[in-house]
Chains A and B, each alone.
Chain A
Amino acid sequence: MSLLPWIPYVTFAGALLAYVAGSRSARAGRVVALLTALTGLGLALTAAAAFVPGRELQTLVNRAWIPELGIRYHLAVDGISLTLIVLTGVATTAAVLFSWTVSERVGEFFALFLGLIGGVYGVFLSADVFLFFVFYEIAIVPKYFLIALWGSTRREYGAMKLVLYSFAGSGLVLAGVLWTYGSGAAEGFSLGALTAAAARLSPVEGGVVFALVFFGFATLAGLFPLHTWAPTGHVAAPTGVSMLLAGVVMKLGAYGCLRVALPLFPDAFAAWQTTLGWLAVAGIVYAGLVALVQDDFKFVIGYSSVSHMGFVMLGLATGELEALGGAVLQMFSHGVIAGLLFAVVGRMVYERTHTRDLAELQALPLHRLIPGAAAIFVVAGLASMGLPGFSGFPSELTILVGAWRHHIPWALVAGLGVLVAGAFTIKVMQRAFFGQLRGPAESTQKEHAAEHAPMEPLTLPEKAGAALLIAATVIVGLKPDLLLDWIMPALQSPAFALTLTKGHP
Chain B
Amino acid sequence: MAAATTHPTPGEARSAGTRPRGGARGVLGRMADKYLLIVYSALAVIYLLLPVFVIILFSFNNPPGRSNFLWSGFTLKYWLNPLGVAGLGDAVLLSLEIALISTIISTILGTLVAIALERYRFRGRAGVNALVFLPMATPEIIMGASLLTLFVAIGAAPFFPLNFATILIAHVMFNISYVVVTVRARLAGFPRHLEEAAADLYANEWETFRRVTFPLILPGVVAGALLAFSLSIDDFVITNFSAGKTQTFPMFIYAKAKIGIPVQVNVIGTSIFLIAVGAVLVTTLASRRSNKR
Real binding pair: no
